[in-house]
Amino acid sequence: MKKKVKQVMTSVLKMDISEIDENTSLESVETWDSLRHINLIIALEEEFGIQFSGEEIVNMLSYKLIYLTICDKLNEN
């Protein structure tokens, strides 16, 4: 699943999969701005068949947080 998350990030943020690690965040990636963030969330929701809450969307600002939020969501179901 980590790979899947990374793949989605790769295609939305136009970066190489090897560039994504635990520290990757909105701060560190130039192409990751507030508009692209929405694209990223939309793509992740579609990929994993889940819906994030407004609060989650605002907080998922790094690879780590995205991954953890998705894990939580999938466990709930």
Q: Is 33 in the site for other proteins (CB under 8 A)?
A: yes
Given 14, 23, 28, 72, the residue binding other proteins (CB under 8 A) = 14
- Under the phi-then-psi rule, with left for phi > 0, alpha for psi from -120 to 50, and beta for the rest, what region is 73? alpha
- Kindly state whether residue 25 participates in binding other proteins, applying the rule CB under 8 A: no
| Binding flag, residue 23, other proteins (CB under 8 A) | no
Q: Both tokens of residue 24?
A: 């990757």
d(Cα 74, Cα 13) in Å, to the nearest integer? 24
Q: And the tokens for 73? A: 């969501």
Most distant pair of Cα atoms in the chain: their distance:
34
Copy the structure tokens of residue 4: 């899947």
By CB under 8 A, tell whether 18 contacts other proteins.
no
Q: Please choose, out of 17-25, 31-39, 61-69, the segment that lies near other proteins by the rule CB under 8 A.
A: 31-39
Which residues in this chain contact other proteins in the complex, by CB under 8 A?
A: 7-8, 10-12, 14, 30, 33-35, 38-39, 42-43, 46-47, 54, 57-58
